[in-house]
């Protein structure tokens, strides 16, 4: 079973998506978009940038938990991960995005 993008509408009417691994775990969450078409463009950007050299920026939150941000070529954030318990778990998350993003179908649950 492959991963999938889940496109949905937030409570405030904006749109966002999650990239889920084959096991259903969320591996990347987008920002909020005012228009559905913008969120769909964000999904395409994830597909294009997931395997681009230097696209992932790794960070650590105030509690010392590692996470990553996927950036477009212009440096804009496309999506970010959950917080991980270790750097190796975060690296596995990046590898999962790289594996799943290019070919994942979109499950549109906005309607």
At 2-43, the pLDDT tens digits run 799 999 999 899 999 999 998 999 999 999 999 999 999 999
Class of the 4-108 domain? mainly beta
pTM of the predicted model as reported, rounded to 2 decimal places = 0.93
Domain map (residue ranges) of the chain: 4-108
Residues 6+ apart with CB under 8 A from 64: none
* Residue 73 Cα to chain centre, angstroms: 15
Dmax (CA) for the chain in angstroms is 39
* Spatial separation of the C-alpha atoms in residues 81 and 70, rounded to whole Å: 8
């Amino acid at each position: 079973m492959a991963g999938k993008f889940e496109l949905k509408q937030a409570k405030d009417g904006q749109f966002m998506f999650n990239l889920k691994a084959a096991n259903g775990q969320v591996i990347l969450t987008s920002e909020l978009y005012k228009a559905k078409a913008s969120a769909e463009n964000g999904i395409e950007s994830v597909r294009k940038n997931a395997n681009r050299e230097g696209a992932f920026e790794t960070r650590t939150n105030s509690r010392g938990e590692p996470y990553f941000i996927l950036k477009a070529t212009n440096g804009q954030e496309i999506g970010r991960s959950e917080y991980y318990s270790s750097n190796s778990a975060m690296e596995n998350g990046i590898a999962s995005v790289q594996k799943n993003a290019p070919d994942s179908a979109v499950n549109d649950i906005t309607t």
